[in-house]
Amino acid sequence: DHIANQIAAGEVVERPASVIKELVENSLDANAAFVDIEVRQSGGFLRVTDDGDGMGSDDVLLCIERHATSKIRDEKQLSALSTLGFRGEALPSIASVSWMVILSRQQDQELGTRAEIRHGVLRSVHQDGCPRGTTVEVRHLFGNVPARRKFLKSVRTEMYHVEEVVRNLALAHQHVGFTLKIEGRTVLNLLPDTDVELRVREIFQYQGPLLPIPPQPADAESTMAVEGYLLLPETAPAGRAQLRLLVNGRPVQDGMLRHAVNEGLQGFLMKGYRPAGVLLLTIAPDQVDVNVHPAKREVRFRQANVVHGMVAGQVRRAMNDYQQ
C-alpha cells in the first residue's frame, strides 16, 4: 500500500504547485469561504488553511488511507499503473512523500484533531484546540524521493506555477477569498464575494476596458454556457496577460477554444492584439472528458464543433454589442 501511494504520488504530485492545487481543491470542496495559502523554504514548506466544514477525528485518519483497496502486491505491477484514476488519492499520495500535519475541526466539535504523518506513516494523533476548518501542512516534500526532487525547476519557476494554480482557482471561485503568501510576502489578497469582473481585474492587475461576455440565458436544452471577460487594452497586453480557459472550473489548455475566441473577434481584432482575459465554460459532464490525464490540462469535448460555434458566436455577439 505504501508503495502504491508513492507511485500515485509520482503521477499526481509533480511539484509544489500540484500539492497546493490538491489542497486548495479540497478546501473548496469543503465549502470554505476563505483559503489561506503559505509557501516557504522555496516550496519545502506548504500550508493551506481553510474555514470549511472540517473533519471529525475518524475522517482525519481515513483521509490518509487510499479509498479503494489496492490490489497491488509487488513493484512489477506498479509500473503498469500509469492509467489509473486518482480520485481519493491526493492526500495519501502527498502524505507518502512528505511530512504532513493535518489539523481539523468541525463546527459542532469542541476540540479538533491533530494528526502527524511522516512518509505515509501515522506518527501521532491527538485532540487539539483549533479554529473551525482545516489546516494541512506539508514539509520536506519529496524528502524521501530524491529522483522526483531532481525534476524540480528553479525556485522561481516552481513559485510561478504555485501562483498560476491559485490565480486559476481564484478565477473559477470568485466567491471565495484567497491569500497567497510566498516567503512571507503577500502575493495575492483576494476578498470573497467580489464579482467576476472585479476578480478578473485583480488577477490580471488591469484597469483598462473589458469586454464582458455575458452568460446566455439558459434554455432547457442547453448543455453548455460560456461567460467571461476579455481585456481590450489600447496597446498589446503585457506578457502575463494571457487567455485563461476554465472548463467547469478547471484550467485547461485547449487550442480549439482559443481558436473559437479568435474567430469570434475576427474583424474586430486590433493590430497586435492577442486575446487575453478569462473564459469560463460550463458544460454538462457527459459532454466533456476532463480525465484525459489527472495532472495534465487537457479536455476532450464530445461535440467540439458545437462548443466552438457557441463560444465564437458569444464572443462575436459580445463584441458587436460592445461597439454599439
Q: Choose which of 10, 16, 43, 52 interacts with ligand ADP (CB under 6 A).
A: 52
Task: Give least dist CB 25 to Mg ion, A.
Answer: 5
Determine contact, residues 17/98, Cβ cutoff 8 Å. Answer: no
d(CA 169, CA 189) in angstroms, rounded, equals 13
CB contact burial 206-224 (16+ within 10 A = b; e otherwise): beeebbbbeeeeeeeeebb
Of residues 4-23, those binding ligand ADP (CB under 6 A): 22
CA-based torsion, 165, 78, 291, 22: positive or negative: negative
Grid coordinates belonging to 118 = 511522516
| Beta strand 177-182 pairing with 34-40 | parallel
Residues in binding contact with ligand ADP, number by CB under 6 A = 18
d(CA 142, CA 147) in angstroms, rounded, equals 9
d(CA 35, CA 66) in angstroms, rounded, equals 25
Q: Which stretch binds ligand ADP (CB under 6 A): 36-44, 81-89, 205-213, 292-300?
A: 81-89
Q: Which residues bind Mg ion (CB under 5 A)?
A: 26, 90
The listed partner (Mg ion, ligand ADP, none) that binds 55, CB under 5 to 8 Å by sort, is ligand ADP
Task: Kindly tell me which of 7 and 90 has the beta carbon lying closer to Mg ion.
Answer: 90
Determine contact, residues 192/176, Cβ cutoff 8 Å. Answer: yes
Grid coordinates belonging to 237 = 497586453
Of residues 215-274, those binding ligand ADP (CB under 6 A): none
CA-based torsion, 11, 15, 18, 19: positive or negative: positive
Task: Give least dist CB 72 to ligand ADP, A.
Answer: 17
Task: Give least dist CB 245 to ligand ADP, A.
Answer: 23
Task: Give least dist CB 167 to Mg ion, A.
Answer: 19
Task: Kindly tell me which of 86 and 229 has the beta carbon lying closer to Mg ion.
Answer: 86
Task: Kindly tell me which of 29 and 289 has the beta carbon lying closer to ligand ADP.
Answer: 29
d(CA 279, CA 168) in angstroms, rounded, equals 11
Task: Give least dist CB 287 to ligand ADP, A.
Answer: 22
Of residues 88-147, those binding ligand ADP (CB under 6 A): 88-91, 134
Q: Choose which of 2, 73, 87, 302 interacts with ligand ADP (CB under 6 A).
A: 87
The listed partner (ligand ADP, Mg ion, none) that binds 63, CB under 5 to 8 Å by sort, is ligand ADP
Grid coordinates belonging to 185 = 510576502
Task: Give least dist CB 206 to ligand ADP, A.
Answer: 31
DSSP 98: S
Alpha helices (H) in 37-89, listed in sequence order: 57-62, 75-78
CA-based torsion, 87, 286, 28, 197: positive or negative: positive
Q: What is the pattern of x (binds ligand ADP, CB under 6 A) and - over residues 21-40? A: -x---xx-xx----------
Q: Choose which of 11, 36, 38, 53 interacts with ligand ADP (CB under 6 A).
A: 53
Task: Give least dist CB 94 to ligand ADP, A.
Answer: 8
Task: Give least dist CB 15 to Mg ion, A.
Answer: 17
d(CA 282, CA 252) in angstroms, rounded, equals 13
Alpha helices (H) in 237-278, listed in sequence order: 255-264
Q: Choose which of 36, 38, 50, 202 interacts with ligand ADP (CB under 6 A).
A: 50
Q: Which residues bind ligand ADP (CB under 6 A)?
A: 22, 26-27, 29-30, 50, 52-55, 59, 63, 87-91, 134
